Chain A
Amino acid sequence: MMILILCLSTYLNIHLNGYCEKYTMIYKYFVLNFTRNIYKNENESVINTHGVQMPKHIVSGLKYLTAVELIREGLSQKEVAKILEMDRSTVSHYLNGRNLSWNSIEVAEIITKFCPKDFLTLTYALVNDSEKTRIIVKTCSKKSYETNIQDSCIGCGLCVDTCLLNAIVLDDLKAHIDSDRCNGCNMCRDVCPTNSIKILEVNNGY
């Protein structure tokens, strides 16, 4: 069991030090599911009793939360279905609380409250699509950011390659961040060789 948990923590890019409490729920979820799992073979260990891959389960939860938020923002079910690339009927089912275990939603809710970097990297790892990740992350997190690139930027493009949300472009050997796309993960700031990136949270919605 410990091996499984370790594998999972690696998969989720979770650092055990100091963050344990926050992730307890997730561990419980996975552990619970694993104890119920029917192991077909070593390589398909992430399979629950319904034969559905577990990451997909969490993605459903995230999509549910995104759909609810988008409806609240005034979008129609049709528009939500298009944005999330789902059937309209699935959206309708989601919104009515069907076809989805409460567990997935609970886990997804916890994920949305992670720090921006963890929320983003986990969602990206689950969804594996930049645009969908951006919609989920930007819809479920109400924070906005002010971005500033200093003149010390050398235009190496490392931030461009790092940004999972494609929020950064180079222009005349200087990076430019689209603050509307930025989710404040600060991964660009961490890789910047000249410490030229400053990102400030400006409007805490919570």
Chain B
Amino acid sequence: MVTNTKEVKDKDICVQRISPEEKRELTFKDDVCIGCGICSNICPTEAIELSDIGAIVRTGVDEAKISVDEAKCVLCGMCSSACPVDALDLKLDEKSIKEMAEYPQLIKSAEISDDLCIYCKACETACPRDAITIARILPERSDLVTGEIEIDKDTCISCGICEEMCPADAIEMEHHEPTSSDPTVSADINVNKDKCVYCLICKKSCPVDAIKAVCRSCSYGDYDLKAEDAETTGSSFIDDETCVNCGWCQEICPVDAAKVEKALEGELVLDQDTCEACGACVEICPCNVLSFPEDEFGEQGDVLKADESFCIYCGACENVCPVEAINVKRTAVKHTPTKSKSWEKKLSELKTQI
């Protein structure tokens, strides 16, 4: 008789069923889980139970967000297919069902086009899951300006004013204490031309007119400088494991380089009269959709506000709300086609009856 085994490591869960035919393994990653409870809704054998998410977010109760009853779990994989953040994964003989065409997959993605991206890092800053990393390579400062500069070391009195004033830290002096054998305060003075921006501050501030400098960016820039040298290059990276496809990057990107596709569509209905402004929903929301904006006196407000353009309709807020003031209506569940009628039915049941 084949039976399941369960392993719990920290808060991660692994349920296995090994037979001569096949090895099935369901893994749960608690740090990825957003506590929405979709897995528990879709499970055909009621093997998954959502923990008290309210207690976990608000009082920091140290327990996993779901529990899996290995005696009930049949390792069908529905939870894995329906999980909007891929916290659950079923593997058949070490291959994830998310890579198998016969299993329906939620259609969701987030991408940043490197062709369009200007590496402004707005998405990196806005991402509520810290899933985006923008690595940018700035142009060389010396490639953006052109000019000439020379210090007449015979005239120079080593006062150090130019060094102190240079905004680009391009002037380097070798200081030393004057001695009877060498009664000067400086051994040498040089301009680092990779750093100099030809602003002419040194020239203007020199008390003995020892610096000759000219900026030719305006007059000869077109000849001396290449436009492509001024471009910032780089690369963008979205961590698929932590990304929840909320759409913040898409909304905030000034050049429309980020594209997000959401699997669940719907509507967020807030009942302001019932809401007691406890803030549990704000804390659980993985997408920073919900907030209590400050009132006109700068005090913490008590009117719940939602910006649905960032909502993934996971339903975590509805589950955690102690007074049922939030209703997440799901109108569409977009997934790849499946020939299985039971899977089709189960996935469409994630839509709320309206």
A contact set with B: CB distance below 8 Å: 151-158, 160-162, 166, 172-174, 193-194, 196
30 A–B contacts from the bound complex (CB under 8 Å): A151-B341, A151-B342, A153-B340, A153-B342, A154-B44, A154-B74, A154-B78, A154-B343, A154-B346, A155-B76, A155-B342, A156-B75, A157-B24, A157-B75, A158-B74, A158-B75, A160-B19, A160-B21, A161-B19, A161-B21, A162-B1, A162-B2, A172-B102, A172-B338, A173-B343, A193-B44, A193-B74, A193-B76, A194-B44, A194-B342
CB distance from A152 to the nearest CB of B (A): 5
Residues on the B chain within 8 Å of A166, using CB: 21
In contact, A174 and B339 (Cβ under 8 angstroms): yes
Asked if B259 is an interface residue, CB under 8 A from chain A, the answer is: no
Q: Kindly state whether residue B233 has any CB partner on chain A within 8 Å.
A: no
Q: Give the distance in Å from the alpha carbon of A173 to the alpha carbon of B105 in the complex.
A: 13
Instruction: Please measure, in the bound complex, the distance between the C-alpha atom of A170 and the C-alpha atom of B21, giving whole angstroms.
Output: 11
Count, A-B residue pairs, CB within 8 A: 63
| Complex contacts, A158 vs chain B, CB 8 Å | 2, 17, 74-75
B179 to chain A, nearest CB (A): 89
CB distance from B5 to the nearest CB of A (A): 14
- A161-B17, A162-B2 known; A172 and B75 CB under 8 Å? no
Q: How far is the CA of A154 from the CA of B47 in the complex (A)?
A: 15
Closest-by-CB residue of B relative to A163 is: B21
- On chain B, the residues within 8 Å of A154 by CB distance are 44, 74, 76, 78, 340, 342-343, 346
Contact of B102 among A151, A152, A173 (CB under 8 A): A173
Q: Which of A157, A172, A173 contacts B22 (CB 8 A)?
A: A157
Residue interface mask B2-30, A partner, CB < 8 A = 1:
10000000000000010101101000000
**What is B's interface to A at a CB cutoff of 8 Å?**
1-2, 17, 19, 21-22, 24, 44-45, 74-78, 102-103, 338-343, 346
Asked, given contacts A154-B78, A161-B21, whether A173 binds B103 with beta carbons under 8 Å apart, the answer is yes
Candidates A151, A156, A173; contact of B74 at CB < 8 Å: A156
Q: Please, how many angstroms separate the alpha-carbon atoms of A155 and B74 in the complex?
A: 10
Instruction: Taking A155-B343, A156-B74, A157-B76 as given, write out 9 further A-B residue pairs in contact, using a Cβ cutoff of 8 Å, ordered by the A residue number.
Output: A151-B342, A154-B78, A154-B340, A157-B24, A157-B75, A161-B21, A162-B2, A173-B103, A193-B44
Interface centre among A152, A156, A193 (most CB of B within 10 A): A156
Give the nearest-CB partner of B4 in chain A. Answer: A158
Closest 4 CB pairs of A and B: A161-B19, A156-B76, A173-B340, A156-B74
Question: Closest CB of chain A to B72's CB: distance in Å?
Answer: 8
Report the separation of the CA atoms of residues A153 and B45 in the bound assembly, to the nearest whole angstrom. Answer: 12
Residues of B within 8 A of A194 (CB): 44, 342
Q: In the assembled complex, which residues on chain B have CB atoms less than 8 Å from the CB atom of A161?
A: 2, 17, 19, 21-22
User: Min CB distance, B267 to chain A, in Å?
Assistant: 29
Which A residues are in CB contact (< 8 Å) with B19?
Answer: 160-161
The closest CB in chain B to the CB of A187 belongs to B1
> Which B residues lie within 8 Å of A152 (CB)?
341-342
Q: Is the CB of A160 within 8 A of B76?
A: no
Alpha-carbon distance between A137 and B92 when the two chains are bound, in angstroms: 31
Asked if residues A160 and B341 are in contact (CB atoms below 8 Å), the reply is: no
Query: CA of A173 to CA of B90 in the docked complex: distance in angstroms?
Result: 14
Contact A172/B340 with A162-B2, A193-B44, A193-B74 known, Cβ cut-off 8 Å? yes
